[in-house]
Amino acid sequence: MPVPEGFEPLDIAARWGVDDAPDFVMHSGPIYVREDGSMPKLGFEVLPHMCNPGGVCHGGLLMTVLDNAFVFILHATLKQPVYLPSISCNFDFLAPAHLGEWVETSGSCTKHTKRTGFVSGALLGPDGPVLQGSGIFRITERTAADMSANTA
């Protein structure tokens, strides 16, 4: 399946403006990103290594991608990529994502304060929503440079 127009391979290090940024989601990909207006979207084709024994995309991967999309949505809302650890996430599985299907995120920041961000969204497949969820995130002042200094 060709990657839909506008999606580019996700490069976490480039998004953070650093040379190297290990990231859990990169091991499960390939994952793609599209800057869609003011809200970025993540997307991927369901490949064999992403599937569970039932032959559909593993729920853990679906949650991982949507959790990361929530962070990107908050970065866009805050207009800066700061470290946003998850406080709470809730997910509802609505339908399977089958091998070979393209799924992509949709979402918005419902509210944010100085220290807390609230996001909701979904992963959409060719027949509609696959996963819906919401997340609460701690808004920190830590940047990529701060985090790189801590791992050196």
Q: What is the pTM of this model?
A: 0.87
pLDDT, mean of each 10-residue run, the chain (152 residues): 88 70 70 84 95 94 94 90 91 97 95 94 97 96 61 48
Say if 141 falls within a structural domain: yes
* 148 sits in which H/E element: helix 144-151
pLDDT recorded at residue 38: 74
Say if 143 falls within a structural domain: yes
CATH label of the domain that carries residue 80: 3.10.129.10
Structural domains counted in the chain: 1
Q: Prior bond to 85 cis, omega within 30?
A: no
Q: By the 8 A CB rule, do 81 and 75 touch? A: yes
> If we measure between CA atoms, which residue out of 6, 19, 2 comes closest to residue 152?
19
Range of the domain at 131: 8-151
Say if 73 falls within a structural domain: yes
